[in-house]
Structure formats: structure tokens, C-alpha cells
Chains A and B, each alone.
Chain A
Amino acid sequence: MSKIKSLDELKKIREEAKNSTSLRTTGENPDRVVIKVGMATCGIAAGARVVMGALIDEIARLQLENVSVMATGCVGMCYAEPIVEVHTPGRGVIRYGNVSEKLARDIIEKHIVAGELLEDVIVGREA
């Protein structure tokens, strides 16, 4: 550790430190967007772990403060794994299938940030 000599340096440290605690503060927010990744045996076999890594990485890169990524069990659509669900409070669930690492990053950039649905790869919706 080195001494913090100015307000700017303190702010810099705060921004860096936020990355490690945002998981908790976001978790406390009832209005957060939740992205669920199917992490049952078939999901993991199809590459869900890589997808999850990409999602988390992208959220941190874009410093999104209101999005949580969680693992969930099998949703029964094993043919479409890895599956990623986006739960937006008040706006239902959008389910994407056959998600690749690249697609995971697109989901964050387009769906979460820009609000555009990736219609081609949606495999289900719930109100």
C-alpha cells in the first residue's frame, strides 16, 4: 500500500475497490437485472462456464452497476444449452439459446446496455 496524497487518488482507489464489492452491493438492490446461466451438467458440458466468465468479464469492463450474474439449474431445454436468461424487473424474462462466448458479450452490449433484443437467438420468453 502506498499513501493516498490527494482526493483524486482516493477516488481512483474507490473505483478499483468497487469492482470487488459491487457483487454484494448489486445483490442488495431489489431492482437489479439478473442474468441466469444454466449450470446443470448439460449446460456446463456445452460450455456454460466460459459463457458465464464472458458475461462477468463484460459487465466489469463496462462497469455496469445493476446487473447480477447467477448460476441456475437445468431448465429442460438441453438441446439449446448453454442457455442464458435475462430477468428485468417488470419486463419479464428473455431466454437465449446456444450462447457462445461472443454471443454472451453481445447480450451485454446490445440487450443490457442498448436495450435491443437479439431476436435471432431467442428461444423463449416469459412475461
Chain B
Amino acid sequence: MDRFRMHILICGGTGCKASEADGVKAALRLSIEKNGMSREAQVVTTGCFGFCEQGPIVKVYPDNVFYVHVTEKDADLIVKEHVVKGRPVESLMFHDANDGASISEHRSMPFYQSQVRIALRNCGIIDPEKIDDYIALDGYQALAKVLTEMTPEETTKEIIDSGLRGRGGAGFPTGVKWETTRKAQDDKKYVVCNADEGDPGAFMDRSILEGDPHSVLEAMAIAGYAIGANEGVIYIRAEYPLAVERLNIAISQAEEYGLLGEDILGTGFSFKIRLNLGAGAFVCGEETALLNSIQGTRGEPRVKPPFPAQKGLWDKPTVINNVETYANVCPIINNGAEWFRKTGTDKCPGTKVFALAGKINNVGLVEVPMGIKLSDIVYKIGGGIRNAKKFKSLQTGGPSGGCISTENLDIEITYETLQSVGSMMGSGGMIVMDEDDCMVNIAKYYLDFTLEESCGKCTPCRVGNTRLYEMLDDITKGRGKMEYLDELEQLGEVIKDCSLCGLGQTAPNPVLSTLKYFRDEYEEHILHKRCPAKACKDLLRFFVIPEKCIGCTLCARNCPVSCISGDRKVVHEIDQSRCIKCGECFEKCPKEAIARE
């Protein structure tokens, strides 16, 4: 038999690799060989399936059976039962959290049902290290189409008509960017891809680069043709080694095929792409800071205007889009602007990829139509809150975004609606928080992040955010005053108004939004020196409930600072002066005899 009758796909994304997917792959290959199926079944590494919570994930075609939490030990079972005998292994299938039923096809999972995959269309289906896989699924057809059938004007118009907006933050219309750059007169222009995905908890760009790198390369070449550039630069985080590796492979394969380089498809159009590694500065996600970083200097933002479309990289007209935006370009060219507009809302056509994480059952990457309700993402796709806890807040937009409370969960997601509730789209991080999360502490966490990442160029951001942080720190440590609340608000507004770049302009959002929706938590910290979520260590006290303590000594033995005294079968006591409030005793006590207040 020369053709494989079965393809076993295993996720090669960072999430699954971290949960030992490589070992599973090796075990599957070994087992296939041992069972004499080498000529019938093939193991393929692919990009992220999005369902990272359940990794490592294995998918078997043609049956389209989806296995979760696969370990090396399971490899033999899958091969012997499913591959050899055609009997899918039920115990490894995904089990519905609500009714416990096993679900074999991923299509039937609630996690996938509400999703529409445009940007992630090839992730989890193709082998990202094989250009042929990409070509088979219409890869490089869009580039061929614009080069042979469309003028640069028509190409730009198609993108304008589609209504595609930048997926990296503020949602500026992509086509308008292209049009401005196309019209700029210069001998040299650049196409830049912003792959400096720095939002903690957002990993959609990484997944696209790891799972479908060619889709970004092809779109950049199309942008180059549209604006009249023949050089592209991908600015990518050095923290994404796997994405860097896959991009390098993809670039060299595309060059070998002549789909990048000189005289592409004999049309006379030339385009080359190189990678530029970032060095760990969040502010470089801001487009002008990113350009400075490519130029080898400190990544400090520039004053706009002039915009990059007029004076960008090396002062030449430059188009900058992020990874997800580029991933939408080829389907638009292939299927037309009208097709793209059928998904999403009128003002925000298409889809958005969100990285759903935090206290949610189904952590993963989801691509949903714009205009879907937040609550649908949390409850239908995300499967609700972990450990049956109570939902408290949804944070979107990372350090630039805000915390959305229950009353706003029914809004339909667009750039505008998120802003109207004090948050923003950002790159698409979505962190779910439950009753155990203290909103003051979360605001402090984000400010700590911004402080560290502020480049220091503007005073409101550098000094103002420091002052905000100090006040929050005081509040979480029981030193807060009620005047702080007004001060936080006022200063926050000043920082928003007076900062030069997006980082400063949005940095106070986590504070302002939590103040607006969770003011009672702030007041509780200040007035009663109490943290309702029991998260602020300095406001907590651990003590032994004498009636419940059986004197088992477990807490004393586990206390890292040995501040618990008491003999066997005698009630123990915690020395408050030495207690570091690590909570170890609270978790270890078999009788729930440690109280936390």
C-alpha cells in the first residue's frame, strides 16, 4: 500500500510540547512500526489545536477522532486498537464536563462548536514544516492571484472593502494603512510584521506562527505587492524559539520554491523576508518603538505623526500589521471581501482569536466571530469556571485592558463595545477570574508589569504609574486611605491624557476599571483592613481553631519557617510574629483546623 490510509496528527505547539508531546510522538512511531503499520499509518506533527488545557492532543484521520491528555503509555493502545483494528479508544476521548459523555469528533465539542476558523484555518491540519501541505490547502494561491490578475490598487481595495481591522490592539483599518503607504512616494518601502506578542497570557500569534507560518509570509508578500515594497521584516520575540525555528524553515522552503525571492512566478515581482529577534521589551509591541528596535536602538516610541506609513523603518514608508491580521489576508484575497463580511458585525467583520486562560475549565485558543457575547465565550466555549467557583471578572487586553464585571458579560464583542466598558480588544488575551482573586491585587499586578516595562521616556507614565502603584501597594498592605481612591482616578486620567504612546495611554485601565466596578473591594481593604478574596497576604492572619485541632503535627512539620509549636495530640499554635503567611498549614491540615482571615 503506497498511500497512508491513516494520518495521526499530534500537536507540536508550545503548550503540548511542554506536556511531553514529543515523547508521545516517538512512542506512536515506534508502536506503528512494531505493529507493522508503517506503510499504512503516518504520524504528522502539526500546529496548535487550541485546546491546550487537554494536551497533549492527538487527532486521527480519516475518522476525525480526537484524543486528549495522551501519554506515552497510551500510544500502544491507540495503535493496536484504533489503527490496527479500527476501534477508537473511548477512554482517551474528551469527556463532557457536564454529563461525562465521551465525545469522539472535535466538531461535537462545545469548545469548538461556536468557533469559526479563518486565521487559524490551517492550524492543527497541516504540518507547519511542509510547504506542500500548505500549498495543498490553497497556499500561495492568493499571492499568485494578485500577481497575475490584480493591480496593487485592486489588491488594496479588496482589503479596504473587506473591512479588516488591525488585530493587535486599536483596530485601525488595515486597508487604509496599506493605501496610505501605497500612495507615499519613495524609492524604498518596507512591510513589517509585528510578532512581538508581549501581553502576558496571550499566545495566538505564536500559535499561528508555529502552526501556519506560510500564511503570514504569503500575506506579507501580498502587502509588499500592494504598497510597492520588496523587503519584509518579521519582528519576533526571542522567547518564542519554536516559532522562530518554524519561520526560518518556512522562509527557506518558500525561497527554494521561488515563492519568495527574485521574480516570483515569473511576474517580475521580487520580495524577501528576514527575521529580527526582539529582546524582551513589552513596549516594542508599539509600532514605532518596534521600528526603533529593528534599527538597533532602545525601543522607545516616536512621536506620531509622521506615521509609519509616511516615515517608518529607516524613515521609509512602512506597513506594520500584526500576525493575526496578516493571517486573515489570504482568505480575503481568495474568497473576496464580500465573503469576509459575512462573518462578524458590520463595523467589525471577520473573527478574532482569543487566548482564554485563568480560572476557566477549557483553557485554550478560540477563534470566534466578532459580535459574539462575552458570556458565550466564558460559559459555552470555556465550559464555565473551574472547581464550580463563582465568576468575578473577565480581563481583556492585557496590561492595557480592563476588568469586566458580571453586569457587562452580555455585551457583544467589538473594538468599540470593549472600550465602552473600560477595557479594550488588545491582542486578545482573555483571563477569567473567580471569587478568590482580589481585584486590587490584580490591578497592582498589572501596574507592576507596566512599571517594569515603561520605557521611561514620558514623565506621566514613568512617574505617574509609579505613584499609582505605591498607592495600590499601600491599600493591599492595610495602609490605604480613602482619599487615595479619588487620587487614583484623577492621576489615572492624567496619565491617559498625557502619555505619548499606547502603553502609557492605557496603563491606568486596570486600575480605573476595577475602581469603577469593584470599588467596594477597595473600600473593604481601606476601611476594614480586610481582603474579601483572601489574596492580600499582609491583611491575612492564620490561626489554629483549638476545637478542631487533633495535634497531628502535620502543620508544624510543613511550616517552612517553623513558627508552629505544639506536641503530639496537643493543640498547636501559630507564632504570628514569625508567620510568613504562605498558607502551607492551611492546605496541609487534614481537619480544616486552620482558619484564614
Asked if A and B form a direct contact in the complex, defined as CB atoms under 8 angstroms apart, the reply is yes
Instruction: Report chain B residues within 8 Å CB of A4.
Output: 257-259, 265
Stretch at the interface among A6-14, A89-97, A100-108, A111-119: A6-14
B135 within 8 A of A: yes
Judge whether A1 and B257 touch: CB under 8 Å: yes
Task: Indicate whether A69 sits within 8 Å of B137 (C-beta atoms), given known contacts A3-B256, A39-B86, A52-B5.
Answer: no
CB distance from A107 to the nearest CB of B (A): 16
Judge whether B86 and A60 touch: CB under 8 Å: no
Judge whether A25 and B3 touch: CB under 8 Å: no
Which of these, B1, B61, B64, B144, contacts A10 with CB under 8 Å?
Answer: B144
Instruction: Report chain B residues within 8 Å CB of A27.
Output: 61-64
Q: For chain B, residues 254 to 284, give those with C-beta under 8 angstroms from any C-beta of chain A.
A: 256-259, 265-266
B421 within 8 A of A: no
A100, B148: Cα distance in complex, Å: 49
Instruction: Report chain B residues within 8 Å CB of A6.
Output: 265-266
A68 within 8 A of B: yes
A6, B263: Cα distance in complex, Å: 10
B114 within 8 A of A: no
Judge whether B3 and A5 touch: CB under 8 Å: no
A17 within 8 A of B: yes
A30, B112: Cα distance in complex, Å: 14
A64 within 8 A of B: no
CB distance from A101 to the nearest CB of B (A): 12
CB distance from B152 to the nearest CB of A (A): 18
Number of residues on chain A facing chain B (CB within 8 A): 40
Judge whether A39 and B265 touch: CB under 8 Å: no
Which of these, B83, B125, B136, contacts A18 with CB under 8 Å?
Answer: B136
Instruction: Report chain B residues within 8 Å CB of A21.
Output: 125-126, 133, 136-137
Judge whether A70 and B257 touch: CB under 8 Å: no
A19 within 8 A of B: yes
Judge whether B132 and A17 touch: CB under 8 Å: yes
Judge whether A20 and B132 touch: CB under 8 Å: yes
Question: Considering only CB atoms, which chain B residue lies closest to A59 in the complex?
Answer: B3
CB distance from B394 to the nearest CB of A (A): 31
A23, B140: Cα distance in complex, Å: 21
Judge whether B258 and A5 touch: CB under 8 Å: yes
Instruction: Report chain B residues within 8 Å CB of A17.
Output: 132-133, 135-136
Judge whether B63 and A5 touch: CB under 8 Å: no
B248 within 8 A of A: no
CB distance from B260 to the nearest CB of A (A): 11
B7 within 8 A of A: yes
Instruction: Report chain A residues within 8 Å CB of B73.
Output: none
Instruction: Report chain B residues within 8 Å CB of A25.
Output: 125, 137
Judge whether A24 and B9 touch: CB under 8 Å: yes
| Consensus secondary structure, chain A interface | helix
A80 within 8 A of B: no
Task: Indicate whether A60 sits within 8 Å of B3 (C-beta atoms), given known contacts A27-B63, A71-B86.
Answer: yes
Instruction: Report chain B residues within 8 Å CB of A18.
Output: 136
B180 within 8 A of A: no
Q: For chain B, residues 116 to 174, give those with C-beta under 8 angstroms from any C-beta of chain A.
A: 125-126, 132-133, 135-141, 144, 148
A123 within 8 A of B: no
Instruction: Report chain B residues within 8 Å CB of A72.
Output: 86-87
CB distance from A44 to the nearest CB of B (A): 9
A78 within 8 A of B: no
Task: Indicate whether A39 sits within 8 Å of B84 (C-beta atoms), given known contacts A1-B257, A14-B136, A20-B133.
Answer: yes
A57, B39: Cα distance in complex, Å: 13
B85 within 8 A of A: yes
Judge whether B1 and A56 touch: CB under 8 Å: yes
Task: Indicate whether A70 sits within 8 Å of B62 (C-beta atoms), given known contacts A3-B258, A17-B136.
Answer: yes
Judge whether B7 and A24 touch: CB under 8 Å: yes
A27, B7: Cα distance in complex, Å: 10
A22, B87: Cα distance in complex, Å: 22
A6, B9: Cα distance in complex, Å: 32
Which of these, B126, B135, B266, contacts A5 with CB under 8 Å?
Answer: B266
Q: For chain A, residues 41 to 68, give those with C-beta under 8 angstroms from any C-beta of chain B.
A: 49, 52-53, 56-57, 60, 68
B417 within 8 A of A: no
A122 within 8 A of B: no
Judge whether B63 and A39 touch: CB under 8 Å: no
Instruction: Report chain B residues within 8 Å CB of A71.
Output: 5, 83-86
Task: Indicate whether A73 sits within 8 Å of B87 (C-beta atoms), given known contacts A4-B265, A18-B136.
Answer: yes
Question: Considering only CB atoms, which chain A residue lies closest to B4 in the complex?
Answer: A23
Judge whether B1 and A23 touch: CB under 8 Å: no
Instruction: Report chain B residues within 8 Å CB of A40.
Output: 85
Instruction: Report chain A residues within 8 Å CB of B86.
Output: 36-37, 39, 70-73
CB distance from B112 to the nearest CB of A (A): 11
Instruction: Report chain A residues within 8 Å CB of B84.
Output: 39, 71
Question: Considering only CB atoms, which chain B residue lies closest to A9 in the complex?
Answer: B265
A28 within 8 A of B: yes
A71, B126: Cα distance in complex, Å: 23
Task: Indicate whether A5 sits within 8 Å of B257 (C-beta atoms), given known contacts A20-B133, A23-B7.
Answer: no
> Per-position contact with A for B83-103: 1 when CB-CB < 8 Å, else 0?
111110000000000000000
Judge whether A73 and B85 touch: CB under 8 Å: yes
Question: Considering only CB atoms, which chain B residue lies closest to A16 in the complex?
Answer: B132
Q: For chain B, residues 1 to 58, give those with C-beta under 8 angstroms from any C-beta of chain A.
A: 1-7, 9
CB distance from A48 to the nearest CB of B (A): 10
A88 within 8 A of B: no
> Per-position contact with A for B360-401: 1 when CB-CB < 8 Å, else 0?
000000000000000000000000000000000000000000
Q: Which 5 A-B pairs have the closest CB atoms?
A: A71-B86, A3-B258, A68-B62, A17-B136, A27-B61
Beyond A23-B61, A39-B86, A52-B5, 14 additional contacts (C-beta under 8 Å) are A4-B265, A5-B265, A7-B148, A10-B265, A13-B257, A14-B135, A17-B133, A18-B136, A28-B64, A34-B62, A40-B85, A56-B3, A57-B1, A71-B83
Q: Can you show 29 pairs from A to B with CB atoms below 8 A apart? A: A1-B257, A3-B257, A4-B259, A4-B265, A5-B265, A5-B266, A7-B148, A7-B265, A13-B132, A14-B135, A14-B136, A14-B141, A17-B136, A18-B136, A19-B3, A20-B136, A22-B136, A23-B7, A23-B61, A24-B61, A24-B126, A25-B137, A26-B62, A27-B62, A30-B107, A52-B1, A56-B3, A57-B3, A68-B62
**A-side interface residues toward B, CB under 8 Å?**
1, 3-7, 10, 13-14, 16-28, 30, 34, 36-37, 39-40, 49, 52-53, 56-57, 60, 68-73
